[in-house]
Amino acid sequence: MSVKELVEKSDFIIEAACPDVAKAIIPKILQCHKQALILSVGGVIQIKNLERLLQKSRGCIYIPSGAIAGVDALLACKGASIKRVRITTRKPVRSLLGAPFMKKAKNELNKIRKTTLIFEGTAEQAVRYFPQNINVAATLSLAGVGSKRTLVRIYTSPTYRFNSHEIEIEGDFGRIHSKVTNIPSEENPKTSALAIGSAIATLGKIFSRLKVGT
């Protein structure tokens, strides 16, 4: 069975593979007018004609907030002038192993002995270099000012045991500052346990008659 046939026969799709899969399957989902929950959000912002696909489709793509706090607040700010959105992520060294950005610097990663800034750039760059690690930056991009204007910093240290995400939003509305410290998933240390809970909560919201939140 082809991917398109699988999509056509599905009532609801849940993607939990990787950004490349999300990027490939979302156009098919929208062309078939289906609904889907997408967890590999980095793949969403890489679809160049996404807006046109959405406009032509009766389907719907759901994006959970994931392992961060503040998405509802950022969405509420869209009517105002947003001047800056920045996320600072801190991750244990082991969770970054295998990331494309780190492959050439694997030996350097093993030599890290103190808190080190290993990446600073845009969300667009971050999801390309860290496809399994920084979905939260892609989610912020979709909720706010886009992947080219959403700023990302990634720190690592041998002393870090948890993933943390600190979000700063500034605009005409004032300032928003949130920080979440997450326990990594036991099954997949590259993601957070809270991200799994967020996906479950989003599913519940989709099918609930009472929808809380922006």
Burial class (CB in 10 A: 0-12, 13-18, 19+), 133: buried
Q: End-to-end CA distance of the chain: give it in Å, rounded.
A: 38
What 8-state DSSP symbol labels residue 59?
-
- The candidate with the shortest Cα–Cα distance to 154, out of 129, 187, 183, is 129
Whether 29 contacts 61, CB under 8 Å: yes
Residues annotated catalytic, as ranges? 165
- Write the single-letter amino acid at 50: L
Q: Is 48 exposed, middle or buried (0-12, 13-18, 19+ CB in 10 A)?
A: exposed
Residue 119 one-letter amino acid: F
Residue 144, beta-bridge partner list: none
Give long-range contacts, CB 8 A cutoff, 24+ apart: 5-8.
7/32, 7/34, 8/32
